[in-house]
Each structure stands twice: as C-alpha cells, then as structure tokens.
Amino acid sequence: MSRALVIDSSSRYVGSVTRALTQQFISTFEESNGESNLVYRDLAKSSVPHLSAEAIEGFFSPTPSLRAKRATVLSDLLLEEFLGADLICIGVPVYNFNLPSALKAYLDQIVRIGKTFQKQGDGRLQGLCSGKDILVLYSMGGMYKDTDMDFIKPYFKAITNFIGADRVDFVAIEGTSRAGFKLEDQLGESGELIQNYLAKRGKKENTLLSMLSE
C-alpha cells in the first residue's frame, strides 16, 4: 500500500485551482489507500522560513552550535514527512513564471545533505530518494505550458534527478486568467488524469498515461 505526502503551496483558498487539483488527488488516493496513509501539509498555514545562517550551519557543520541545532528542528520534521512517503504530490500555482516562495523555502529545507543527497568520496553528489515518485499539479494564468516560459517542469525535473527520486510527472491547467475559463470543465480532464495515474502506478506499470507530461 502506498503512502503519500500532499503539499499545498497556494496563498489562496477561495478560487485556488491547485487546491482543487490536490483535493482531487486526495479523494482518489484515499479511496484505495485510506486516510491514514496520507500526510497533508499546507504551506499557507504552516509557514516554512527561508534558510538562515544558523540552519545552513546545522546542515553542514559536523559540530553545530546549539542555535544551529535549534534552527534545523523544523527541517527534521519536514524530512520525516517527506522520507516517510513513497509518493509526493505538490500543488504549484505559478506566480510570475515560477513557484511560490513558500514552496521554494520548503524545498530548501528538505533538499539536505546526508538526508536526501550525499557527497561521495570522489566529490560527486548522489541522491538518496530512490523508491519515490513525485506528481506536480500546477496551474498558470497564461498559455505557456511546455514553452520556454514554463519553468516549473525543468525545475522539478532537476530536483527529482538531484535527490534521486524515481520519476516526476505533471498535470497542468493553463489559461486560468483568460476570458471564458471554466474550472469545472478543466477538472473533468484533470480528475481522469489523476485517477489513471494512481491506478497505473498502483499496478507498477512502467508507462503512465500518455496524456501526462514526460
């Protein structure tokens, strides 16, 4: 049975497209795996600080100060959640062509030496997160998915590769700020994509829906 971590990063509650997407994921996942196998974190409610000098010391120093140890307590908690899941689902609204700063702060706390990656004897870095899949549910006001202005895919592909997770997949809703946009129309397709993603992943099939972005 799978264990999932779901992360919402939207600053909005009313009218949030990515929160609607993560709710679709949660409902579908819990039907097969139960509520007890899902951990939920809302970055708008549980604020994660950006990296401090003390936190960086705590991450890298073999003999960190007491202040540095205290600065890594939240990172330890976030890593416990992250490492305890084999499927991480992240809701990502695109703000000014990039991910929300709250999500960037979160990722800076969990992409951590000795936890999600390590340095080998020859100096090369090796990811430690094999066995994990990442599903990114993102939305944008414009129509630039899969163009040079879509920075979400390359960023999460880089993070996935760096920490050594098995794969990353994407479901996107675009054009949310355009006239005539109707969320309910888009949620029908996204709900089907998410349902098929979870079904195929549960069967350990190598090829997910072709409609999902590679």
Residue 35 forms part of a structural domain: yes
Residue 74 forms part of a structural domain: yes
One pLDDT digit (tens) per residue for the chain, 214 residues: 899 999 999 999 999 999 999 999 999 999 999 999 999 999 999 989 999 999 999 999 999 999 999 999 999 999 999 999 999 999 999 999 999 999 999 999 999 999 999 999 999 999 999 999 999 999 999 999 999 999 999 999 999 999 999 999 999 999 999 998 999 999 999 999 999 999 998 665 543 443 443 3
Total tally of structural domains belonging to the chain: 1
d(CA 97, CA 120): 35
Residue numbers of the domain that contains 37: 4-202
pLDDT for 214 equals 36
Nearest CA among 20, 174, 18 for reference residue 91:
18
Q: To 5 degrees, how large is the angle CA 172–CA 174–CA 179?
A: 155
Q: Which strands make up the sheet holding 167-174, listed edge to edge?
A: 38-42, 4-8, 87-93, 133-140, 167-174
Cβ burial, residue 14 (10 Å; 0-12/13-18/19+): exposed
Structural Rg of the chain based on CA atoms: 18
Q: Residue 77 sits in a domain of what CATH number?
A: 3.40.50.360
Nearest CA among 89, 127, 135 for reference residue 111:
127
Residue 114 forms part of a structural domain: yes
139-148 burial, b if ≥16 CB within 10 A, otherwise e?
bbeeeebeee
pLDDT for 204 equals 59
pLDDT for 212 equals 43
Structure tokens at 128: 């430690």
Which single residue is written with the structure tokens 């890298």? Answer: 60
What predicted TM-score, i.e. pTM, was given to this entire model? 0.93
Nearest CA among 181, 199, 205 for reference residue 33:
199
Contact between 21 and 5 (Cβ < 8 Å): no
Residue 46 forms part of a structural domain: yes
Residue 213 forms part of a structural domain: no
Residue 210 forms part of a structural domain: no
